[in-house]
């Protein structure tokens, strides 16, 4: 396709642009807005300036200028670590090799996160365009999108986008009649969290077991098939066309001093409006939870937010005004991660929650290195003991020492970050650990072995609601005509307490 042909398609379909009038133009993806136009359609994408950034790069910029524009934009990787994207591109460009690859990481293993899926489903052409720009900049002619097979619609739309873009000659050979050729294929992942880690992902692409390996060498030096490989997260890539088209100054006008642009967050947990929200980096936790999410479900008290997915940290309410950027979150013992945010209310037991996240890490550990494989299992055993009321004070020291050991000695980011929920809850919610150990009490009533329900006879009117709702027939009418709970039968589900209209059931 010639550039004039691209322009012609845009002119013919300019009406699509009108549908975008409600979008916040300064946002990268505008996911938040009620946008009826879905850019998975190639004509609509072109009508909205799609593939014009690729044309600009190929026809008006040399490779170094493209890299420089990305460096100037200060864009940082949205896959978790926040590594400067331009630096990575430059490193890869400077490698001497006859073959290089661009890989788009759309593995997205964080439970509850669906930013990357949405981007793949709604903006597949933006990803193809970004990958082609990256390929041009670093000198690669082949791109691979690694997407998990559990995302069938994303797979379908990416496949369709590849077919449509190839038909128009927007990927393939001699794009815009230049010498630049770039082909893209899909590689489906089988859903292992560790395969999102770049070295494990590359192994998985090669058909090997998805296990991480020591860095350096970094993928930019020696990656897929031992060739220099640029691997970027899909959201990072989604920013590229707009940066090239609008310029790095425009991009730098959004966000914070050290972190430019916007970030898409997947808000879930005890929040009224769970969903995806795109905010300029530097917005506060409060803005995200209250302005975007509408506040805590059932107007309960906010207790903490877990940021950074299963290996992120729990941030207590007192830090609600913290700006969401890479450095501020790290200082609090959490991390930006890929953008998963889980809201927790007053009924959350912080000991139980750290056990929950550890379970995920234990399940997802690839088992290659001992600190992660065995260390996390041991951490989990200790927390389990505490949740059952069998913990001792010395367990707290062991928890902290072991967590730090795993952090410092694991092979990859999974192990290195897996103790974060334990360390952050120990730091901010130590009193709950102490209550479990010393008072054998779980204030949230979540740890079943430490929870007991009791019917207060002076308040009970024998209405029988609790008796009827108990799923295990643990409630009986005693000789005084009052209901009583058989503690041996009770499974501590709390249904009786929730059903009682007279406040006659207490949780101890
Ligand atoms: C256990 C683990 C899982 C990861 N999962 C993902 C993922 O699902 N998607 C992603 O883009 N990056 C993931 N990463 C980060 C990648 O290793 C890598 O840093 C990223 O793809 C680089 O792209 P970026 O610079 O654009 O962020 C993961 C890292 C670790 C340690």
The DSSP annotation for 274-317 comes to: -EEEEEETT-BHHIIIIIIT-SBGGG--EEEEEESGGGSEEEEG
Q: Does residue 33 register a pLDDT over 50?
A: no
Q: How far apart are CA 305 and CA 90, in angstroms?
A: 36
311 lines ligand 1 (CB under 6 A): no
* Alpha carbon of 396 to ligand 1 centroid (Å): 31
Q: How far apart are CA 85 and CA 69, in angstroms?
A: 11
pLDDT (tens digit per residue) in 379-388: 999 999 999 9
What is the mean predicted confidence (pLDDT) over 35-57?
Answer: 84
Q: Does the residue 423 lie in any domain?
A: yes
Q: Does residue 21 register a pLDDT over 60?
A: no
Q: Does the residue 427 lie in any domain?
A: yes
Range scoring the smallest mean pLDDT among 43-47, 187-191, 470-474, 482-486: 43-47
- Both 57 and 205 in a single domain? yes
In 3D, which of 225, 192, 229 has the Cα closest to residue 211? 192
Q: Does the residue 445 lie in any domain?
A: no
236 lines ligand 1 (CB under 6 A): yes
- Both 139 and 232 in a single domain? yes
Q: What percent of the chain has pLDDT over 90?
A: 86
CA 464 to chain centre: 46
Q: Does residue 26 register a pLDDT over 70?
A: no
- Both 322 and 458 in a single domain? no
> Ligand 1: which residue has its CA nearest to atom 25?
77
- Determine how many CB atoms are found less than 10 A away from the CB of residue 265: 24
Domain boundary among 439, 461, 495: 439
Q: Does residue 276 register a pLDDT over 80?
A: yes
- Both 337 and 356 in a single domain? no
CB burial class (10 A; 0-12, 13-18, 19+) of residue 154? buried
- Both 318 and 383 in a single domain? no
231 lines ligand 1 (CB under 6 A): yes
**What pLDDT is attached to residue 48?**
86
Ligand 1: residue of 79, 114, 194 to mutate (most ligand atoms within 8 A of CB) is: 79
Q: Does residue 142 register a pLDDT over 70?
A: yes
Q: In the structure encoding, which two tokens stand for residue 26, read together?
A: 């300064």
Query: Which spans in 48-123 are helix H?
Result: 52-60, 63-73, 85-93, 115-122
Query: Which spans in 314-392 are helix H?
Result: 326-331, 350-364, 370, 376-387
Query: At CA 108, angle to CA 106 and CA 113, rounded to 5?
Result: 130
> Ligand 1: which residue has its CA nearest to atom 5?
196
Looking at every residue in the chain, the average pLDDT score rounds to 93
**What pLDDT is attached to residue 334?**
87
100 preceded by a cis bond (ω within 30 of 0): no
Q: Does the residue 53 lie in any domain?
A: yes
CA atoms within 13 A on the CB side of 225: 10
164 lines ligand 1 (CB under 6 A): no
**What pLDDT is attached to residue 384?**
97
CA 418 to chain centre: 14
Banded model confidence at residue 13, pLDDT cuts 50, 70, 90: confident
Q: Does the residue 444 lie in any domain?
A: no
Q: Does residue 59 register a pLDDT over 90?
A: yes
> Ligand 1: which residue has its CA nearest to atom 12?
79
Banded model confidence at residue 15, pLDDT cuts 50, 70, 90: confident
Whichever domain contains 472, its CATH number is 3.30.70.20
Whichever domain contains 377, its CATH number is 1.20.1440.230
What is the mean predicted confidence (pLDDT) over 450-477?
Answer: 95
Return the C-alpha torsion angle 48, 52, 53, 54, nearest 10: 130
Q: In the structure encoding, which two tokens stand for residue 206, read together?
A: 């090669």
In 3D, which of 279, 6, 240 has the Cα closest to residue 104? 240
- Both 51 and 129 in a single domain? yes
What is the mean predicted confidence (pLDDT) over 316-336?
Answer: 92
Q: Does residue 389 register a pLDDT over 90?
A: yes
**What pLDDT is attached to residue 40?**
79
In 3D, which of 237, 285, 267 has the Cα closest to residue 104? 237
- Both 116 and 20 in a single domain? yes
Q: How far apart are CA 151 and CA 188, in angstroms?
A: 9
Q: Does the residue 23 lie in any domain?
A: yes
Q: In the structure encoding, which two tokens stand for residue 115, read together?
A: 């930013």
Contacts of 272 (CB under 8 A, 6+ apart): 293, 294, 295, 296, 297
In 3D, which of 112, 360, 126, 322 has the Cα closest to residue 237? 126
Q: Does residue 293 register a pLDDT over 90?
A: yes
Q: How far apart are CA 447 and CA 301, in angstroms?
A: 20
Q: Does the residue 298 lie in any domain?
A: yes
> Ligand 1: which residue has its CA nearest to atom 6?
196
Residue scoring higher pLDDT (476 or 44)? 476
Banded model confidence at residue 206, pLDDT cuts 50, 70, 90: very high
In 3D, which of 56, 49, 40 has the Cα closest to residue 9? 49
239 lines ligand 1 (CB under 6 A): no
Q: Which domain holds residue 408?
A: 350-439
* Alpha carbon of 373 to ligand 1 centroid (Å): 20
- Determine how many CB atoms are found less than 10 A away from the CB of residue 170: 25
Query: At CA 104, angle to CA 329 and CA 189, rounded to 5?
Result: 95
Whichever domain contains 273, its CATH number is 3.10.20.600
Q: Does residue 260 register a pLDDT over 60?
A: yes
Range scoring the smallest mean pLDDT among 34-48, 160-174, 188-202, 355-369: 34-48
Domain boundary among 345, 373, 401: 345
Q: From the alpha carbon of 76, which atom of ligand 1 is closest?
A: 25
- Both 112 and 36 in a single domain? yes
Q: Does residue 32 register a pLDDT over 50?
A: no
> Ligand 1: which residue has its CA nearest to atom 23?
232
Q: In the structure encoding, which two tokens stand for residue 286, read together?
A: 């409060």
81 lines ligand 1 (CB under 6 A): yes
Q: Is residue 113 a contact partner of residue 342, using CB atoms and an 8 Å limit? A: no
Banded model confidence at residue 309, pLDDT cuts 50, 70, 90: confident
Angle between helices 234-246 and 52-60 (to 10 degrees): 60
Q: Does residue 348 register a pLDDT over 70?
A: yes
pLDDT (tens digit per residue) in 63-80: 999 999 999 999 999 998
Please tell me the total number of residues recorded for the chain in this structure.
508
**What pLDDT is attached to residue 413?**
94
DSSP state of 27: S
- Both 60 and 116 in a single domain? yes
Contacts of 364 (CB under 8 A, 6+ apart): 109, 192, 193, 194, 310, 414
What is the mean predicted confidence (pLDDT) over 27-53?
Answer: 73
Domain boundary among 302, 326, 345: 345
Contacts of 305 (CB under 8 A, 6+ apart): 269, 285, 289, 314, 315, 341, 342, 343, 344
237 lines ligand 1 (CB under 6 A): no
Q: Indicate the number of domains in the chain.
A: 4
DSSP state of 218: P
- Both 411 and 370 in a single domain? yes
Q: Does residue 369 register a pLDDT over 90?
A: yes
In 3D, which of 385, 376, 391 has the Cα closest to residue 423? 376
pLDDT (tens digit per residue) in 86-136: 999 999 999 999 999 999 999 998 888 999 999 999 899 999 999 999 999
Q: Is residue 417 a contact partner of residue 323, using CB atoms and an 8 Å limit? A: no
105 lines ligand 1 (CB under 6 A): yes
**What pLDDT is attached to residue 27?**
63
79 lines ligand 1 (CB under 6 A): yes
- Both 121 and 244 in a single domain? yes
Q: Is residue 53 a contact partner of residue 244, using CB atoms and an 8 Å limit? A: yes
Conformation bin of residue 174: beta by default, left when phi > 0, alpha when psi is -120 to 50: left
Q: Does the residue 497 lie in any domain?
A: yes
- Max Cα–Cα distance, the chain, nearest Å: 93
Q: Does residue 35 register a pLDDT over 60?
A: no
218 lines ligand 1 (CB under 6 A): no
- Both 151 and 214 in a single domain? yes
Q: What percent of the chain has pLDDT over 70?
A: 95
Q: From the alpha carbon of 194, which atom of ligand 1 is closest?
A: 1
The DSSP annotation for 427-479 comes to: HH-HHHHHIIIII---TTS-SGGG--EEE-TTT-----HHHHH-TT--EEE-T
């Amino acid at each position: 396709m010639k550039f004039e042909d691209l322009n012609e398609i845009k002119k013919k379909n300019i009406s699509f642009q009108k549908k975008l009038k409600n979008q916040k133009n300064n946002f990268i993806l505008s996911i938040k807005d009620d946008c009826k136009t879905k850019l998975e359609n190639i004509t609509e994408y072109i009508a909205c300036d799609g593939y014009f950034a690729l044309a600009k790069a190929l026809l008006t910029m040399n490779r170094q200028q493209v890299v420089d524009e990305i460096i100037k934009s200060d864009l940082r990787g949205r896959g978790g670590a926040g590594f400067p994207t331009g630096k990575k591109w430059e490193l890869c460009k400077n490698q001497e090799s006859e073959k290089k690859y661009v890989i788009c990481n759309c593995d997205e293993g964080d439970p509850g996160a669906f930013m990357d899926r949405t981007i793949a489903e709604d903006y597949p052409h933006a990803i193809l365009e970004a990958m082609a720009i990256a390929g041009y900049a670093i000198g690669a002619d082949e791109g691979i999108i690694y997407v998990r097979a559990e995302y069938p619609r994303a797979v379908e739309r990416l496949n369709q986008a590849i077919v449509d873009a190839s038909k128009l000659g927007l990927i393939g050979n001699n794009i815009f009649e230049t010498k630049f050729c770039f082909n893209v294929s899909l590689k489906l992942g089988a859903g292992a969290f560790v395969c999102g880690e770049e070295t494990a992902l590359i192994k998985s692409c090669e058909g090997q077991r998805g296990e991480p390996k020591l860095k350096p060498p970094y993928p930019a030096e020696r990656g897929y098939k031992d060739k220099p490989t640029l691997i970027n997260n899909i959201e990072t890539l989604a920013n590229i066309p707009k940066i090239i088209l609008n310029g790095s100054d425009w991009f730098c006008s959004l966000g914070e001093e050290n972190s430019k642009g916007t970030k898409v967050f997947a808000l879930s947990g005890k929040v009224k409006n769970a969903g995806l929200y795109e905010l300029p980096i530097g917005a506060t936790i409060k803005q995200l939870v209250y302005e975007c999410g509408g506040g805590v479900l059932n107007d309960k008290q906010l207790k903490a937010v877990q940021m950074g997915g299963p290996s992120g940290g729990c941030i207590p309410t007192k830090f609600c005004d913290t700006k969401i950027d890479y450095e501020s979150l790290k200082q609090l013992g959490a991390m930006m991660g890929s953008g998963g945010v889980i809201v927790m209310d007053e009924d959350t037991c912080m000991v139980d929650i750290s056990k929950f996240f550890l379970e995920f890490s234990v399940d997802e550990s690839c088992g290659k290195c001992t600190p992660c494989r065995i260390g996390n299992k041991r951490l989990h055993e200790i927390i389990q003991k505490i949740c059952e009321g069998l913990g001792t004070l010395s367990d707290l020291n062991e928890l902290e020492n072991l967590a730090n050991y795993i952090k410092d000695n694991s092979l990859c980011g999974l192990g290195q970050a897996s103790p974060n929920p334990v360390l952050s809850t120990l730091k901010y919610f130590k009193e709950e650990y102490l209550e479990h150990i010393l008072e054998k009490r779980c204030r949230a009533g979540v740890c079943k072995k430490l929870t007991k329900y009791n019917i207060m006879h002076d308040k009970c009117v024998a209405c029988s609601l609790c008796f009827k709702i108990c799923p295990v027939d643990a409630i009986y009418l005693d000789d005084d005509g009052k209901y009583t709970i058989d503690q041996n039968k009770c499974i501590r589900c709390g249904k009786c307490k929730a059903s009682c209209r007279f406040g006659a059931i207490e949780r101890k």
